[in-house]
Amino acid sequence: MNDLLDIRMKRLDGVEQHLADYRGKVLLLVNVASYCGNTPQYRDLQAMHAEYRDRGFEVLAFPANDFGAQEPGTDAEIAEFCASRYGVTFPVFSKITVRGRDIHPLYAAITSRPAPIGGEVTWNFQKYLVDRRGNVVAKFPPSLSPRDRSIVAKIDELLKQP
């Protein structure tokens, strides 16, 4: 059993999705916010999604209002923002909590892992790379661009693996 891929999530459109639907893909999980200094990273996340999707890669975004109240909107408002400002076509899920006592089970599972993966989420746009088997294999800081060569190299490496 892989606890990450056994979780069901609600997407912004209200449809429930089982993360097991992404089994066999390389995933970049990102907690996002609409009003953060890192919000322009949506542009790079969308570019990566378009570039790598046909090779078995998906960006999965999880809006959270845990840092500076930078994601105050409803799911509908978040969907409109992502589409109109950044042309987002990758999956964006319903707003969750990524730290504290109300932490969502997905993020509880990630942050409870041993270092260097585990530990509390530090800010919006923290990134976790997940291999095709559902194992979290890398964590990248919020300020690091999704297009940084360290992230891209790791994605390329994982996409070459069966």
pLDDT of residue 69: 96
**Residue 143: helix, strand or coil by DSSP?**
coil
115: number of Cβ within 10 Å? 7
First-to-final CA distance of the chain: 19
Residue in 36, 47, 138, 159 annotated catalytic? 36
pTM: 0.96
With contact defined as beta carbons under 8 Å apart, do 11 and 91 qualify? yes
**Residue 30: helix, strand or coil by DSSP?**
strand
Chain segment 87-97, per-residue pLDDT in tens: 999 999 999 99
Chain segment 109-142, per-residue pLDDT in tens: 999 999 999 999 999 999 999 999 999 999 999 9
- Exposure b/e, 72-94, CB count within 10 A at least 16 = b: ebebeebbebbeeebebebbbbb
pLDDT of residue 70: 97
Query: In terms of DSSP H, where are the helices of the chain?
Result: 41-52, 75-86, 105-111, 149-160
Q: Is 36 a catalytic residue?
A: yes
pLDDT of residue 162: 85
Residue ranges for the chain with pLDDT beneath 70: 1-2
Residue whose structure tokens are 């089994």: 23
Q: What are phi and psi of 139, to 5 degrees?
A: -125, 140
Q: Confirm or reject CATH 3.40.30.10 for domain 8-160, answering yes or no.
A: yes
